Amino acid sequence: MKIIFEKSVKGRRAARFNSDVPISPKLPDNLKKEKQAELPELAEIDIIRHFTNLSRNNFGVDNNFYPLGSCTMKYNPKLGEIIARDERFSGLHPILPQLPEGNLLTQGALEVIYETGRLLSEITGMDEFTTQPLAGAHGELTGMMIVSAYHKKKRNKKTRVIIPDSAHGTNPASSAICGYEVTTIPTNKNGVMDIKKFKKELNNEIAAVMLTCPNTLGLFNSDIGKICKMAHSMDALMYYDGANLNAILGKCRPGDIGFDIVHLNLHKTFATPHGGGGPGAGPVGVKESLRKFLPISQVVKGSDGKYFLNYNQQDSIGYLAPFYGNFAVILKAYIYLLTLGKEGLIKVAENAVLNANYLLAQLKKHYHLPYDRTCMHEFVISAKRQKEKGVRTLDVAKRLLDFGFHPPTIYFPLIVEEAMMIEPTETESKETLDNFAEAMIKIAREVEENPKVVKTAPHNLLISRLDEVKAARELNLRW
């Protein structure tokens, strides 16, 4: 496809924008460029076609199934987008004054932040939330800074954090940034953290245990309550990586299980897409004893029912992000929660788990399944069997593109060779799941009969395989 500059024809023009703002004749010379800007010259119809066709080469959840495990690429209702775009929200300036008259202008926005935090507390069993962190990893950093502040305040000498080997890579990274050494616990044959090895590593040096449950294999750890008790006996805090909360919404609450801190990705579970490159939000919830360490500032509801920002938090870990987080993302989550209500959220979890198990049942005859258990919202299969025919997971992923599907997450979690991590989400119909299963099964058959067609895929797209190393090393986004 030609880039827009190559389509330029000298002298060609699109419709002009008629502005009634007069152009100042007195532009000082030092502000004028010597040369005219080199812009493409095109008719309006060529511009429209160019960008419309470009947008059709993109892939999103609005095009087709996008089972990117761990990332929850579910359908995000457009209602949230419409309301978040409303000028009465989008036009608010973040430094509108806190004075009474300014407060009048910001009360609605403060209420949204406050109420979203309250609802997230209810869902997770926590006592208070900060909505400031801007992503999941940022939420983890916030949480681990709170861990560090807690132990410093108690004069505890803690140097290490326990994390299972199935964890998202951001977990050890966040711990390390906060100065902790990471102790990795292997996964047992049931696909969960080995509790015997955990017990052996647990001692007074442990500041926290970071867990994802269900973990990145999509499996729930039924020892989780016991693990929390064991950690607390050593005054280690329990951190719940709730980036993906789809499986447990309205079913169980990390706070009730014994977790002290949790972060959520609003841009996975709560109505903003993940992986779209757009803004996200990683709010963090804590139990009462950790409330005082939350970042500055917190939205508080006064006894008069008015909302205000409290900057007076003595033990706070400080400022985490400018202003109050990505407000539009928080707003969309709030709308999502109100629209679904309690019953709706429970249905989300039930259908997410049902869809994953339905798909798993169809695929497990055709691909290796390393942990053969009932899964939660996602599952991990492997192309180990296909590898014997010289076909790798990457090839299967590329072949899926020919069938119009986004591939699943591949080569993660790291503990499964040739991993494919599939998360169908609750918003997909049985027909879509069947179509995807059919494509996956067809690919498995192709591997047996004609592996070359899989190894050289994709065949139907504008570009075939990219040199990914070169693309990353010599990134060039300019014309």
Ligand X SMILES: *Cc1c(COP(=O)(O)O)cnc(C)c1O
User: Which parts of this chain interact with ligand X (CB under 6 A)?
Assistant: 70, 135-137, 168, 170, 212, 216, 241, 243-244, 265, 280, 282
Q: Which is nearer to ligand X, 264 or 437 (CB)?
A: 264
Q: Which is nearer to ligand X, 42 or 224 (CB)?
A: 224
Closest approach of ligand X to the CB of residue 167, in Å:
7
Q: Which is nearer to ligand X, 74 or 168 (CB)?
A: 168
Q: How far is the CB of 354 from ligand X (least distance, A)?
A: 21
Long-range Cβ pairs for the range 156-161 (8 Å, 24+): 156/207, 156/235, 157/204, 157/205, 158/204, 158/205, 158/206, 158/207, 158/236, 159/205, 159/207, 160/205, 160/206, 160/207, 161/206, 161/207, 161/208, 161/209, 161/210
In whole angstroms, the minimum distance from the beta carbon of 217 to ligand X comes to 11
| Least separation in angstroms between CB 280 and ligand X | 5
CB of 407 to ligand X, least distance (A): 17
Task: CB nearer to ligand X: give 136 or 191.
Answer: 136
Q: Residue 193 Cβ, how far from ligand X at the closest point, in Å?
A: 14
| Dihedral angle over CA of 4, 59, 280, 436, nearest 10 | -170
Taking the complex as a whole, how short is the minimal distance between the CB of residue 382 and ligand X, in angstroms?
Answer: 19
The residue whose Cβ lies closest to ligand X is 136
How near is the Cβ of 406 to ligand X at its closest, in Å? Answer: 16
186 vs 278, beta carbon nearer ligand X: 278
**Which of 212/425 has CB closer to ligand X?**
212
Rounded to whole angstroms, how far apart are CA atoms 379 and 67?
Answer: 11
Residue found under tokens 């069993």: 125
Give me the least distance between CB of 412 and ligand X, in Å please.
Answer: 9
Whole-number minimum distance, CB 72 to ligand X, in Å? 8
Q: What is the 3-state secondary structure (H, E, C) of the chain?
A: CCCHHHHCCCCCCCCCCCCCCCCCCCCCHHHCCCCCCCCCCCCHHHHHHHHHHHHHCCCCCCCCCCCECCCCCCCCCHHHHHHHHCHHHHCCCCCCCCCHHHHHHHHHHHHHHHHHHHHHHHHHCCCEEECCCCCHHHHHHHHHHHHHHHHHHCCCCCCEEEEECCCCCHHHHHHHHCCCEEEEECECCCCCECHHHHHHHCCCCEEEEEECCCCCCCCCCCCHHHHHHHHHCCCCEEEEEECCCCCCCCCCCHHHHCCCEEEECHHHHCCCCCCCCCCCCCCEEECHHHHHHCCECEEEECCCCCEEEECCCCCCCCECCCCCCCHHHHHHHHHHHHHHHHHHHHHHHHHHHHHHHHHHHHHCCCCECCCCCCCCCCEEEECHHHHCCCCCHHHHHHHHHHCCCCCCEECCCCCCCCEEEECCCCCCCHHHHHHHHHHHHHHHHHHHHCHHHHHCCCCCCCCCCCCHHHHHHCCCCCC
Name the residue nearer to ligand X (CB basis): 241 or 428: 241
Q: Which is nearer to ligand X, 67 or 282 (CB)?
A: 282
Nearest CB to ligand X, comparing residues 214 and 255: 214
Burial of 78 (0-12, 13-18, 19+ CB in 10 A): exposed
Residue closer to ligand X (CB basis): 254 or 444? 254
CB of 137 to ligand X, least distance (A): 3
Q: How far is the CB of 125 from ligand X (least distance, A)?
A: 19
Nearer to ligand X by C-beta: 241 or 426? Answer: 241
Closer Cβ to ligand X, 136 or 254, answer by number: 136
